[in-house]
Structure 1
Amino acid sequence: MTKLRNWLKGPPALSALAGVVAAAVVLAVAELVGAFFTARAAPLLALGSTFIDFTPPWLKDFAIATFGTNDKAALFVGMGLTIALLACVLGVVAYRRWALGVLGVLFMGAVIVASVVTRAGVEPIDAVPSVLGTLAGLVVLRRLLAPLHGMKQWPEAPADAAPGNPATSRRRFFAAAGITAAAAGIAATGGRLLGAARSNIAKAREALQLPAPAKAAPAVPAGVQSAAAGVPPWITPNNEFYRIDTALSVPEINAEDWELRVHGLVEEEVRLTFQDLLDADLIESHVTLTCVSNPVGGNLAGNAKWLGLPIREVLRRARPKDGADMVLSTSIDGFSASTPLEVLQDDRDAMLAIGMNGEPLPLEHGYPVRMVVPGLYGFVSATKWVVDLEVTRFADSKAYWTERGWSERGPIKTMARVDVPKSFAKVPAGKVAVGGTAWAQTRGITKVEIQIDNADWVEVELSTEASLVTWRQWSYEWDAAPGAHYIKVRATDGTGEVQTDQRADPVPDGASGWQSVMVTVE
């Protein structure tokens, strides 16, 4: 223990701490300066986005399965720990060989700059915050290492290094490190507040008045909600709607500047402004969206009322050429999705949505405009912050996740879920309410069955069906006997096809299988 305490008080450990403080300065200065640039110029966001771009499908699937909608928070924590570790190493390297330390810091700065300038919608000048942050970090690292010179002679000590009192040098170091860390915290907070103050997108969204639809959504029939208490509401509130996307920083787009370009294999290129959408004949529709990463029994599905312009109307103006079979939609942050052309032209009311549950799209759900396409997983259809539609061919263009091993087309599979009781729940013996949700968008749900342990399958009570593109809830009153029991569930869609029991992972085209919930009856 004495040796450990002495080591922690010595130059190697303190130089590692100096590296961490210097790294904090890099990020803080970049955050402060970056308030005057695009949000995607922030080093952490750029590095995180680059990491996501190169994430293999199995790792993305693991992150979502493990952390769910907290996957981005987990990424930031992991990045923070990694940066801290690398900073420790660079601090020690700089302590022993200053020139090598400088090269290491400059290399890391170059990685950050490369991550920034390769982001979609970022200009070369947006690298300025990262460059200034890197230079500030080098200066701070040099200053923090100076007091350590008097504690122990370096293998290659600077010319101005002189032996001194170790205790005095240590106090000088901690004073400098503490002041610098505090200044970095203030700079980072100031940059965040300054950036928020300069952005009026949230206020503009709140002030936006949505037009009345030319075609309102049909009234929701009575009885759509499951009779079992605890089943999620039939309409998912905006703040509870799942969010899975590749954007670490929610794009802030001024609706007045937004423009959609429709081009490619078309007779006429079309450009739409947000005002064009406001002036158009908009429609409302209740649609359930599902993420392809949703595991069996997962909650990455939600139902909402959407307001928007049918995409078929836009394509009718553009007039796709013969041979085109796909529309590649692209977000302002570079994400892209491949949607079959015929799906966007049929009567399922795929739309350019501007409203969600009676209010403008929330920023994190695509404000000002996103795509909503019934019947397809989001990775091939639900592009948020959409700015480009290219009519093309599957043979000629690849979308973001298609390039990473996922399928080109993603029709949603029939799925049933037990919402109550939760797995591993303990319930009293007697009458137990069992309930859940099932979906098969564009086909509808005609039957849901459950199986208790190995008994026969029993048909449950279905709630009212609102439409073929929304989920359908169900309920069942179970006479539960004491002991451990397993509840399985399966659905039958409108074509008569029973949900398969064959287990499949989300990659490459969505999970499949029957959910099994273990419940203890006391």
Structure 2
Amino acid sequence: MQSNSPVPAWAGALVGLVSGAVALGVAQLVAGIVGPTTFPVVAVGDAAIDLTPAPVKDFAIRAFGSNDKAVLLGGVLVVLAALAALLGTLSRHRPAWGYAGFALIGLIGVAAVLTRPDATPLDVVPTLVGVVVGAWALRWLLRRGLDTSATTTAPRATAPHAAADAPHAGAPRADAPRADAPRSNAPQDAAAAPHADASGAAAGASGTAAPGAASPRDAVPQAAADAPHADASQAAAPGPRDAAPQDAARPAGDVPLGEAGLRGAAARTAPSDGSGASGQVAVPGASPQTEGGAGREAERPAVMRAGGEAPGFDRRRLLTGVAGGVVVAGVGVVLGRQLGGRQAVDAARVGVALPPPAVPAKAVPAGADLRIGGLSPFVTPNRDFYRVDTALVVPQVDPADWTLRIHGMVDRPIELTYADLLQLPLTEADVTLTCVSNEVGGPYVGNARWLGARMADVLRRAGLRADADMLLSTSADGFTCGTPVDVVMDGRDALFAVAMNGEALPVEHGFPVRQVVPGLYGYVSATKWVVDIKVTRFDRDEAYWTPRGWSAQGPIKTQSRIDVPKDGGSLKAGDTTIAGVAWAQHTGVDAVEVRVDGGQWRQARLAEVPGPDTWRQWAIDWAATPGEHTIEVRATDASGRTQTDRRAAPAPDGATGWHSVTISVA
């Protein structure tokens, strides 16, 4: 069915999109005041992560890598944009549908916000304010797109003889047509039937039309301001008339005087009080009229619009309104992020003065990096270090406000500030971190030099009880992690780290403080933005990932990876080098073997390492022959355990199997 809305569909969709953008921009601005994590898009994304089945999460990590959160947020925004465009299109016909849609989206946002850890009623304010402003923007833009220049509001009109409303009888009017001139076919005011002189009134009273008077069928709506009051000579003067539009073609907004009520008399219809007396003109809303029409007042309809001149579409006004909405949305986002503290935290990070380590790391051996093209460097630059966490918005923690609370099964609960931590003896250590979500041969592993206070030293200050076996750490965004007490206290370089590769921790890697524990997968050890340690037991508490299909404890499994040549690549026949990395943190890699096309395993040469907590580069020479070849690798750790060939998925406690690549040699 054809739409009767003057606003085209594309304009409705644009109005919806801009209204949604305004809603999100305002919500972002308010969230900058209340807290960045209260932004509804982030809350919905967090809820989606919590509700997503583990296989889907694993697929997202495999497919998108460290960009999985950006993809998720982008998906949420795309869905919101589609819904907003749909609501804008529907609102062209009935704005209430758009308001209802905004309200429904708001309810979903509120529910997502309230399901976050430590949520308070104040956290829903950004969502509510955004929804209200977005609905208002929808209404404003839709009205702005309508051209209402043809619609006028009629003032209350007095009797035809009132000097203030009409010229004196017989006085010429600049806009009045001459009596002997042909009448235009322009629409006329249906309420203009009463004439301004006595003969017109008498004609109305007798029930017969004066010679030359317009018939009821000729009378059509006209703006009240344009209706001339005819004098006696005009009322009596004959003249040709063009056919006027019939009532059936009148829009719904015309004066509600039916043709049947006018037929047969030029100015007679049922009175407004329903008495049935003749000689009176019934105008909706008019007060009862006196006999003969002398001194009566006639109230005109509130809206009078010429026939065929329904409100149109004003493209220019709409587009200027849209531009204003885009500006509001953009300003809201920019200010919201600034208020969220990103700039302040970045400035604080740059201003951190790191003390020298009390226990420096060993110098990296000269042979630790084989410097082969395409091979992962021994030290992973900060910008290239993998990132896997649950934070859709990176927590912005000002070191001046940061504290670490240690409580639970301790003799003396303690709380440390950032300044307190920097005053402790700091240890420097080279440690490779690995994510449990890493597939065989995957990219979620990296090596860095860390600086921090030893966790064991800090925990001893609190006095751990003998039966405690778990450290339940909590990050600033509510993530929790369970770390075995015995691993942290066994002498390894488990750190509350404050620096990475010679600079304060990057914000996305945990600034101001994170945990680093060699030998454990990150999900049970590497809490970023750590603010709380509860000393407890595994049989009393569980961390974030435990009820989501992952083991409560996660020691790293020995793994190896082929970096060059790449899977699916091609080589020229002849001598070439196969190279990669292997890791078995806190145990160390003792050997790496390579085979081609299922042949004999050959020992690879190993790079030097400063200790057992880092990965180890390896390489082997190969005389490549034409054809397609499959290359496999396996590692053996310092305890004599060799990687199993049995392939297993990352869940529940880390992937297993040999990494292999297939290449073509020409």
Larger-gyration structure (1/2): 2
Aligned equivalent of 2:640: 496
Aligned equivalent of 2:399: 255
**TM alignment of 1:76-475, pairs within 5 A:** 76-120=73-117, 123-146=120-143, 168-169=312-313, 171=315, 174-175=318-319, 178-192=322-336, 194-195=338-339, 199-226=343-370, 228-475=372-619
Matching of residue 23 in structure 1 with residue 55 in structure 2: no
Report how far residue 371 of structure 1 moved.
0.3
1:227, 1:166 → 2: CA distance? 77
Q: Is the 8 A contact 2:6 2:311 kept in 1?
A: no
* SS of corresponding position for 2:141: helix
Amino acid at match of 2:664: T
Matching of residue 68 in structure 1 with residue 212 in structure 2: no
1:228, 1:13 → 2: CA distance? 56
Assess, with a 3 A threshold, how the Cα gap between structure 1 residues 389 and 160 changes in structure 2: closer, same or farther.
farther
2:569, 2:549 → 1: CA distance? 37
Q: Is the 8 A contact 2:21 2:326 kept in 1?
A: no
* SS of corresponding position for 1:113: helix
Two-structure CA RMSD over aligned residues (Å): 2.8
Report how far residue 139 of structure 1 moved.
0.7
1:160, 1:82 → 2: CA distance? 41
* SS of corresponding position for 1:304: strand
Please give the per-residue CA displacement for 1:44-72, whole angstroms capped at 9, x wherever unaligned.
Answer: 22222222222221111111100011112
Report how far residue 342 of structure 1 moved.
0.8
2:114, 2:349 → 1: CA distance? 29
Assess, with a 3 A threshold, how the Cα gap between structure 1 residues 148 and 373 changes in structure 2: closer, same or farther.
same
Q: Is the 8 A contact 2:397 2:512 kept in 1?
A: yes
Q: Is the 8 A contact 1:489 1:515 kept in 2?
A: yes
Amino acid at match of 2:27: A
Amino acid at match of 2:579: G
Assess, with a 3 A threshold, how the Cα gap between structure 1 residues 181 and 147 changes in structure 2: closer, same or farther.
closer
Matching of residue 481 in structure 1 with residue 625 in structure 2: yes
Q: Is the 8 A contact 2:593 2:601 kept in 1?
A: yes
1:465, 1:144 → 2: CA distance? 65
Q: Is the deviation greater in 193-202 or in 281-290?
A: 193-202
2:42, 2:657 → 1: CA distance? 36
Q: Percent identity of the aligned residues?
A: 46
2:420, 2:147 → 1: CA distance? 69
Report how far residue 147 of structure 1 moved.
6.2
Structure 1 length normalisation: TM-score?
A: 0.91
Assess, with a 3 A threshold, how the Cα gap between structure 1 residues 450 and 141 changes in structure 2: closer, same or farther.
same
Report how far residue 380 of structure 1 moved.
0.8
Report how far residue 130 of structure 1 moved.
2.3
Q: Is the 8 A contact 1:266 1:321 kept in 2?
A: yes
Please give the per-residue CA displacement for 1:397-456, whole angstroms capped at 9, x wherever unaligned.
Answer: 111111211110111111000011111111111111111000011111111011111211
1:255, 1:190 → 2: CA distance? 23
Aligned equivalent of 1:34: 31
Report how far residue 460 of structure 1 moved.
0.6
Matching of residue 511 in structure 1 with residue 655 in structure 2: yes
2:55 to 46, 49, 58: 58
Q: Is the 8 A contact 1:306 1:353 kept in 2?
A: yes
Assess, with a 3 A threshold, how the Cα gap between structure 1 residues 105 and 193 changes in structure 2: closer, same or farther.
closer
Amino acid at match of 1:220: V
1:8, 1:499 → 2: CA distance? 70
Amino acid at match of 1:403: P
Please give the per-residue CA displacement for 1:288-312, whole angstroms capped at 9, x wherever unaligned.
Answer: 0001111111111000111111111
Report how far residue 110 of structure 1 moved.
2.4
Structure 1: gaps spanning 5 or more residues: none
Aligned equivalent of 1:49: 46
Q: Is the 8 A contact 1:377 1:412 kept in 2?
A: yes
Assess, with a 3 A threshold, how the Cα gap between structure 1 residues 44 and 508 changes in structure 2: closer, same or farther.
same
Assess, with a 3 A threshold, how the Cα gap between structure 1 residues 274 and 426 changes in structure 2: closer, same or farther.
same
* SS of corresponding position for 1:223: helix
Amino acid at match of 2:30: V
1:161, 1:338 → 2: CA distance? 74
1:283, 1:310 → 2: CA distance? 7
Please give the per-residue CA displacement for 1:175-228, whole angstroms capped at 9, x wherever unaligned.
Answer: 256324432443245425643788421111111111111111111112111353
Assess, with a 3 A threshold, how the Cα gap between structure 1 residues 458 and 94 changes in structure 2: closer, same or farther.
same
Assess, with a 3 A threshold, how the Cα gap between structure 1 residues 161 and 443 changes in structure 2: closer, same or farther.
farther
Report how far residue 258 of structure 1 moved.
0.8
1:160, 1:327 → 2: CA distance? 74
Q: Is the 8 A contact 2:364 2:609 kept in 1?
A: no
2:30, 2:466 → 1: CA distance? 50
* SS of corresponding position for 2:383: helix
1:107, 1:192 → 2: CA distance? 24
Equivalences, count:
514
